[in-house]
């Protein structure tokens, strides 16, 4: 079960000239595959990436426990210029929350809002690194997202990243939001388009 864990290793697939991203979601202790995240943007936006930076275009990432089954949740990023908005949905039309990027911030991060647009947490990190903390309203650490070194060849010649998501407590609702937040960091801030 994807959401019954407290840690996740996310491995982005490597590919030359790829227009969409795919991620394996693994148990870091056993290496067992827990799920798969596939970027599935609208067709027109996928091909427009050949001439326009993908940060300006809409996209969606669907997270599956197994291929062929309906997604466990989806992440949808609307077109953005100054501030990214990413919605997390359990099913089409059923919003669980959203992540709102900070405009003109020196530190990378975004606000985590619930389905009623109330801030429930914040993801904070530095703009050049891959060290992020998922914090609740009181500043307590709910989890972390950290980049894992993949070797000189992969780091220099691809934009594919590996990262580790660790939760402070086993809570399926937090696991879903933190996993979505970790994928959104890569989607919103790290992919060069």
pLDDT on residue 88 = 92
pLDDT in tens, 166-179: 988 777 667 787 78
Classify domain 2-190 at the CATH superfamily level.
LURP1-related (2.40.160.200)
Whether 7 and 166 have beta carbons less than 8 Å apart is answered as yes
Confidence of residue 184 (pLDDT cuts 50, 70, 90): confident
pTM over 0.95: no
Residue 61 scores a pLDDT above 70: yes
CA distances from 61 to 64, 168, 180 (A): 10, 25, 9
Polymer length of the chain: 193
Span 96-117, pLDDT tens digits:
888 887 655 545 678 888 888 8
Check residue 40 and give its pLDDT: 93
- The domain locations on the chain are 2-190
At 63-93, the pLDDT tens digits run 999 988 999 999 998 887 667 788 999 877 7
């Amino acid at each position: 079960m994807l959401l019954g864990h407290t840690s996740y290793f996310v491995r982005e697939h490597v590919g030359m000239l790829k227009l969409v991203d795919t991620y394996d979601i693994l148990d870091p202790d056993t290496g067992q595959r827990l799920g798969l995240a596939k970027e599935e943007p609208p067709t027109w936006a996928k091909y427009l990436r050949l001439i326009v930076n993908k940060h300006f275009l809409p996209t969606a990432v669907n997270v599956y426990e197994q291929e062929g089954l309906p997604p466990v949740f989806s992440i949808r990023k609307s077109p953005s210029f100054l501030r990214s908005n990413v919605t997390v949905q359990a099913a089409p039309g059923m919003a669980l929350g959203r992540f709102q990027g900070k405009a003109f911030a020196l530190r990378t991060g975004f606000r985590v809002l619930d389905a009623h647009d109330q801030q429930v947490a914040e993801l904070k990190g530095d703009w050049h690194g891959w060290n992020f903390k998922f914090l609740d309203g009181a500043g307590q650490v709910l989890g972390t997202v950290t980049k894992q070194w993949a070797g000189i060849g992969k780091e220099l010649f691809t934009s594919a990243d590996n990262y580790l998501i660790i939760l402070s407590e086993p809570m399926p609702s937090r696991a879903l939001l933190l996993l979505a937040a970790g994928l959104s960091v890569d989607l919103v801030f790290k992919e060069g388009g």
